[in-house]
């Protein structure tokens, strides 16, 4: 009997342990091996400073960023007098002359680029041997003291030893000629070189190309001698990846072979070559906009025996924003904790062991910036200073170590700690950026302030303050989609299995991870989250890691309202204020219009002019789309003061621009937007559907806002008239919603942007209640476009399918979004979204999409479980926000609603729809209303 009782208690204990472990895993990402690459590492951030934790046992790498370290400087981005060409561009488009319109717009209507350096002068200096002794082109040149490097390097010489180098580099190697090749012309096939090469054989120039086109040069027979022949190549690289990059398909070789033969039958040049840097200061390459920059790296080198490491685990608890590494080595249990504290403005690393005198390591700071230096500040602090290339921003970071027992010394630019019991490291960072117009700050200021604030504080206090502040955001919301057997797996294994597994709890973790990433990259008082949040390790990141405003910046902020993170909008709203000022200058310069305009990209400096190319860079609706976020915040909060003092003034100015900008289409008589485009698809056009949906929504929101505030009656009347005249949504010949004014959609086009469905989501220009026919046409468009897409596009489609009330289709796309990104879309090991490459918007859009399946409120009522997938039959959510100023807690079982609690933040009428049940009741401010599954 006692034995049975013991077994019963044991099984209950195991169930409780398993449940708590699973529960922990719904807030935890964890792994059984250290990060091998950047997208394996775990992100921490306090909105301003971010870090990626690699968590190696012997070498722990922490790559870090500060949000205001960018290239560039305050400057004029607008082409003065561009508006003089506006009518000509419009006329060409009306006449169907798209290519001519694009050519004129490219020449006269794009933004101004930054100042270029004098490339011709620099190239001449390099050709004339400045910076190098002797003539490396000659066969007799002595290169014995040169270093060697792997050739080719498809991803640039940066990946094989020349980190972040732009400039002039000489390469040399040799080849032996078979006797039967003598007297024959040969071909040297090098494929791509970035950016310019001068290629010499035995001292004679055989080819020179000034772009990345494939290099195939003929070598005249008379240059070839029996036996050893010398190849020397001077490579000039201006920007981004450099060197002999060869073939994308690395199975294809670069090499030399006789004319009429092939490289397979020739001599391979895939090997180590000798190299020498001639100059690393090429002239500045002009840029339309600027790039977000990495700051530096902290490496901790431990004195451990790698072969004795066991019980390894690294994790990130997103409920506390604390990352942890633990392992056993030589019988000692080690633990490291890392977090980015907002109250103390530092990345904090805490190292402990369960045996005294067990912690010994060297700590080193470094930076990918060529202009960087490390120096000792005091007996426990190192400082790293950086200066961006082609810009005015400078940064300083400080690393302070505090130890318990043991010894600490600073020598040779590193902190050496020996036989300590416990170590605390504080990593701080700052720049001279004050605002988009002011760079007069001192980079040391943020460091001094943070380190002074940390003095005398115990680790427990620092950690508690961090968690308390973080949880003021995180704990406002909870989600539970039940349990699954995969909850006990490491996150990378769980990710591998998710597509084929029944693991709804992983979708709940992904949703909460989206909230974690937004809290970590967008706190009040910081810059908004960019294309990569605040995490970036590259000097030339994808798309500059800027703010792409034709969906990506907006998608970053989709979760704020519905997922109870409203306060995190503050950086976005401040950015909108800054953009409205520069955007007013752009509106005047390009359209001779009132109000403000934003094209498809911006940067730290609030650039608003068209960039890149006229076939996609001239898109006028960025300001109007951002204005939707202002209105949505009012809709969710019912904060009249915010509407009056912040939102409406910005919305009104955005609407004034379109009052002046819209023109009559000569064929239909409708008011249309032109020149513009349907983002990144179909080139420069007159009248893309997306623009009209956004502008119509902006006008309607301004009308509603002016009524709430009882102001601007004449303006309201003007907008009311214009709304009726804007080109309507149209159904085309395939039953699709037309993307353009003309019925020219291609049903085989699988483009990632589904811009003409903006009115479905995030807008409400198209709804089931207002026009079921148009809604069906929008659905047909999405079916034609297909499911497969890049990461952020999958996230957008999840939201579409939620609005189409097809939860199972939405769930199919969630499984596509949360699948391993093996050279395609999905999620990396650390659950970062893969475009690919990494773009954070997919994380945010995916999180918003999961919420959109549970509750919708864009049609004037609370629509409960409108798109619940069969894969999430049971669940509970607390703290979900809805328009009208309502907060919801709800539970469901076997796919059916079991309880719904509505808290009214501002009072007023509340309408609720669930299946065929509808109720409406008045609420009081602060009142709570409990309903069952029948809305009783």
User: Could you read off the pLDDT of 761-801 as tens digits, one per residue?
Assistant: 999 999 999 999 999 999 999 999 999 999 999 999 999 99
Angle at 90 between CA 86 and CA 93, to 5 degrees: 145
Mean pLDDT, range 350-366, rounded to an integer: 97
pTM of the entire predicted model: 0.94
Predicted local distance difference test score (pLDDT) of residue 9: 44
Which among 569, 531, 578 is positioned nearest to 433, based on CA atoms?
578
Predicted local distance difference test score (pLDDT) of residue 25: 62
Q: Please report which residue ranges of 643-756 form alpha helices under DSSP H.
A: 648-661, 689-709, 713-725
Report the alpha-carbon distance of residue 930 to residue 935 in Å, rounded.
9
To the nearest 10 degrees (0 to 180), the angle between helices 841-854 and 791-803 is 10
Mean pLDDT, range 463-481, rounded to an integer: 98
CB-based contact 528:553 (threshold 8 Å): yes
Residue 315 phi/psi, 5-degree rounding, is: -155, 165
The mean of the pLDDT values for the chain is: 95
Q: What domains sit in the chain, N to C, each tagged with a CATH number?
A: 46-71+294-475 (2.70.98.50), 82-110+546-754 (1.50.10.10), 119-279 (2.60.120.260), 857-936 (2.60.40.1180)
CB-based contact 234:197 (threshold 8 Å): yes
Mean pLDDT, range 1-6, rounded to an integer: 44
Residue 903 phi/psi, 5-degree rounding, is: -105, 125
Distances (CA, A) of 761 to 53, 735, 764, 845: 35, 20, 7, 11
Residue 501 phi/psi, 5-degree rounding, is: -105, 165
Predicted local distance difference test score (pLDDT) of residue 24: 59
**H-helix or E-strand containing 608?**
none
Predicted local distance difference test score (pLDDT) of residue 14: 42
pLDDT at 12 over 80: no
Mean pLDDT, range 495-509, rounded to an integer: 95
Report the alpha-carbon distance of residue 831 to residue 854 in Å, rounded.
22
CB-based contact 256:223 (threshold 8 Å): no
Predicted local distance difference test score (pLDDT) of residue 308: 85
Q: What is the CA radius of gyration of the chain?
A: 30
Mean pLDDT, range 862-866, rounded to an integer: 98
Query: Which long-range contacts link 857-861 to residues 24+ away (Cβ below 8 Å)?
Result: 857/882, 857/883, 857/884, 857/886, 858/764, 858/767, 858/883, 859/764, 859/767, 859/768, 859/769, 859/770, 860/911, 861/911, 861/912, 861/913, 861/918
pLDDT digits (tens, 9 = 90+) for 250-287: 889 999 999 999 999 999 999 999 999 999 999 999 99
CB-based contact 630:640 (threshold 8 Å): no
Predicted local distance difference test score (pLDDT) of residue 48: 98
SS3 per residue for 654-668: HHHHHHHHCEECCCC
Report the alpha-carbon distance of residue 612 to residue 446 in Å, rounded.
35
pLDDT digits (tens, 9 = 90+) for 293-348: 999 999 999 988 777 899 999 999 999 999 999 999 999 999 999 999 999 999 99
Residue 87, C-beta contacts closer than 8 angstroms, at least 6 positions apart = none
Mean pLDDT, range 110-115, rounded to an integer: 96
pLDDT at 242 over 90: yes
pLDDT digits (tens, 9 = 90+) for 82-95: 999 999 999 999 99
671-672 and 676-678 as β-strands: parallel, antiparallel, unpaired?
Answer: unpaired
Report the alpha-carbon distance of residue 535 to residue 234 in Å, rounded.
35
pLDDT at 848 over 80: yes
Q: Which residue has the tokens 């996150």?
A: 491
Distances (CA, A) of 492 to 315, 828, 830, 844: 12, 9, 8, 20
CB-based contact 890:856 (threshold 8 Å): no
Report the alpha-carbon distance of residue 453 to residue 447 in Å, rounded.
10
Predicted local distance difference test score (pLDDT) of residue 752: 85
Mean pLDDT, range 159-179, rounded to an integer: 93
DSSP states along 404-461: ESSEEEEETTEEEEEEESEEEEEEEEEES--BTTB----THHHHHHHHHHHTT--HHH
Predicted local distance difference test score (pLDDT) of residue 1: 46
pLDDT at 193 over 80: yes
Predicted local distance difference test score (pLDDT) of residue 16: 44
Q: If DSSP codes are grouped into helix, strand and coil, which group holds residue 132?
A: coil
Report the alpha-carbon distance of residue 235 to residue 199 in Å, rounded.
9
pLDDT band at 2 (very low <50, low <70, confident <90, very high): very low
CB-based contact 274:147 (threshold 8 Å): yes
pLDDT at 7 over 60: no
pLDDT at 679 over 60: yes
Mean pLDDT, range 524-546, rounded to an integer: 96
pLDDT band at 4 (very low <50, low <70, confident <90, very high): very low
pLDDT band at 21 (very low <50, low <70, confident <90, very high): very low
Beta bridge mates, 533 = 530
- Torsion sign (Cα): 155, 157, 163, 166: negative
Predicted local distance difference test score (pLDDT) of residue 8: 45
pLDDT at 904 over 90: yes
pLDDT at 231 over 80: yes
């Amino acid at each position: 009997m006692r034995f049975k009782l013991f077994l019963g208690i044991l099984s209950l204990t195991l169930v409780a342990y398993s449940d708590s472990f699973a529960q922990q895993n719904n807030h935890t990402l964890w792994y059984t091996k250290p990060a091998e690459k950047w997208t394996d590492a775990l992100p921490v951030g306090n909105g301003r400073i971010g870090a990626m934790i690699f968590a190696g046992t012997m070498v722990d790498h922490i790559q870090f960023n500060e949000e205001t370290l960018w290239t560039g400087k305050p400057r004029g981005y607008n082409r003065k007098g561009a508006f003089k060409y506006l009518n000509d561009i419009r006329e060409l488009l009306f006449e169907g002359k798209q290519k001519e319109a694009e050519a004129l717009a490219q020449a006269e209507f794009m933004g101004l680029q930054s100042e270029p350096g004098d490339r011709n002068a620099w190239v001449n200096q390099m050709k004339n041997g400045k910076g190098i002794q002797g003539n490396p082109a000659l066969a007799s040149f002595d290169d014995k003291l040169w270093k060697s490097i792997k050739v080719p390097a498809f991803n640039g010489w940066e990946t094989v030893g020349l980190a972040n180098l732009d400039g002039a580099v000489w390469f040399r190697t040799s080849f032996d000629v078979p006797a039967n090749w003598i007297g024959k012309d040969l071909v040297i096939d090098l494929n791509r070189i970035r950016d310019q090469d001068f290629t010499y054989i035995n001292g004679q120039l055989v080819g020179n190309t000034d772009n990345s086109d494939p290099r195939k040069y003929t070598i005249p027979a008379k240059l070839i001698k029996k036996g050893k022949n010398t190849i020397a190549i001077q490579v000039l690289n201006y920007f981004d990846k450099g060197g002999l990059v060869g073939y994308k398909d690395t199975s294809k070789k670069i090499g030399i072979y006789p004319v009429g033969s092939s490289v397979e039958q020739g001599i391979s040049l895939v090997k180590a070559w000798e190299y020498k840097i001639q100059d690393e200061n090429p002239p500045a390459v002009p840029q339309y906009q600027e790039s977000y920059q990495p700051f530096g790296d902290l490496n901790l080198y431990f004195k451990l025996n790698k072969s004795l490491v066991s019980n390894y685990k690294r994790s990130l608890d997103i409920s506390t924003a604390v990352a942890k590494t633990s392992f056993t080595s030589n019988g000692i249990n080690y633990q490291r904790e890392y977090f980015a504290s907002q109250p103390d403005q530092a990345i904090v690393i805490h190292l402990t062991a369960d045996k005294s005198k067990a912690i010994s390591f060297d700590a080193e700071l470094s930076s990918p910036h060529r202009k960087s230096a490390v120096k000792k500040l005091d007996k426990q602090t190192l400082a790293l200073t950086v200066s961006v290339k082609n810009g005015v921003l400078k940064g300083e970071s400080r690393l302070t170590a505090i130890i318990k027992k043991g010894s600490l010394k600073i020598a040779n630019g590193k902190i050496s700690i020996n036989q300590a019991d416990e170590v605390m490291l504080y990593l701080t960072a700052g720049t001279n950026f004050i605002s988009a117009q002011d760079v007069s700050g001192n980079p040391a200021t943020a460091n001094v302030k943070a380190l002074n604030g940390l003095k005398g504080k115990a680790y427990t206090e620092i950690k508690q303050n961090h968690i308390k502040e973080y949880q003021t955001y995180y704990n406002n919301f909870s989600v539970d989609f039940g349990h699954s057997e995969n909850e006990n797996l490491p996150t990378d294994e769980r990710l591998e299995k998710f597509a084929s597994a029944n693991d709804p709890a992983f979708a709940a973790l992904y949703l909460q991870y989206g909230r974690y990433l937004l809290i970590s990259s967008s706190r009040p008082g910081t810059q908004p989250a960019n294309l990569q949040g605040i995490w970036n390790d590259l000097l030339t990141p994808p798309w500059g890691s800027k703010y792409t405003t034709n969906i990506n910046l907006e998608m970053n902020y989709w979760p704020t309202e519905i997922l109870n993170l409203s306060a995190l909008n503050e950086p976005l709203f401040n950015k909108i204020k800054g953009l409205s000022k520069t955007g007013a200058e752009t509106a005047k310069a390009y359209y001779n219009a009132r109000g403000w305009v934003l094209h498809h990209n911006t940067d730290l400096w609030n650039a608003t002019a068209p960039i890149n190319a006229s076939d996609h860079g001239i898109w006028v609706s960025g300001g109007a789309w951002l204005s939707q976020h202002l209105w949505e915040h009012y809709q969710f909060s019912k904060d009249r003061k915010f509407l009056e003092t912040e939102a409406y003034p910005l919305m009104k100015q955005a609407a004034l621009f379109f009052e002046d900008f819209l023109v009559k289409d000569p064929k239909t008589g409708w008011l249309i937007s032109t020149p513009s485009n349907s983002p990144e698809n179909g080139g420069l056009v007159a009248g893309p559907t997306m623009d009209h949906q956004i502008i119509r929504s902006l006008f309607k929101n301004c009308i509603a806002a002016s009524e709430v505030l009882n102001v601007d009656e004449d303006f309201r009347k003007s907008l009311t008239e214009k709304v009726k005249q804007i080109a309507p949504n149209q159904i085309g010949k395939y039953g699709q919603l037309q993307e353009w004014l003309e019925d020219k959609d291609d049903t085989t086009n699988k483009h990632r942007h589904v811009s003409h469905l903006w009115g479905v989501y995030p807008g409400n220009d198209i709804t089931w209640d207002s026009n079921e026919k148009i809604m069906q046409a929008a659905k047909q468009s999405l079916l034609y476009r297909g499911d497969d897409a890049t990461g952020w596009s999958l996230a957008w489609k999840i939201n579409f399918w939620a609005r189409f009330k097809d939860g199972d289709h939405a769930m199919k796309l969630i499984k596509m979004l949360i699948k391993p990104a093996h050279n395609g879309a999905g999620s990396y090991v650390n659950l970062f979204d893969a475009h690919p490459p990494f773009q954070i918007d997919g994380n945010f859009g995916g999180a918003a999409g999961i919420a959109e399946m549970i509750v919708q409120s864009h049609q004037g009522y609370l629509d409960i479980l409108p798109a619940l997938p069969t894969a999430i039959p049971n669940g509970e959510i607390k703290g979900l926000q809805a328009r009208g100023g309502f907060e919801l807690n709800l539970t469901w079982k076997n796919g059916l609603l079991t309880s719904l609690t509505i808290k009214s933040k501002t009072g007023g009428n509340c309408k609720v729809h669930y299946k065929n049940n509808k109720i409406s009741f008045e609420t009081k401010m602060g009142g709570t209303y409990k309903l069952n599954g029948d809305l009783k």
